[in-house]
Amino acid sequence: MAEPEPFRAELERTLGVDPYGHGSLPIGRWADRREATVRGVIVRYYVSGSILAVTVVRLIPEP
């Protein structure tokens, strides 16, 4: 199997292991809606503990 692309590998290594870490911040009043910067890209995502998933909903390249 081929190595995942560097961005995806970094997501798995950081937010995939600790979705509430890596300098992430909650969006608004929802602790499970988060934002973090990974490899120069702002990642907005939802954390679902009931199904052990992190769903990226938006990628925003930093200017």
Note the pLDDT tens digit of each residue in 22-48. 999 999 999 998 999 988 888 888 888
Domain membership flag for residue 18: yes
Domain membership flag for residue 19: yes
Place of tokens 């907005």: 44
What's the pLDDT score for residue 42? 86
Domain membership flag for residue 1: no
Domain membership flag for residue 35: yes
Domain membership flag for residue 45: yes
**Domain count for the chain:** 1
Domain membership flag for residue 17: yes
Task: Give percent of the chain above pLDDT 90.
Answer: 25
Q: Which residue range is the domain that position 22 belongs to? A: 6-61
Mean local confidence (pLDDT), 2-28 = 86
Mean local confidence (pLDDT), 3-27 = 87
pTM (predicted TM-score): 0.76
How many C-beta atoms lie closer than 10 Å to residue 47's C-beta? 18
Domain membership flag for residue 31: yes
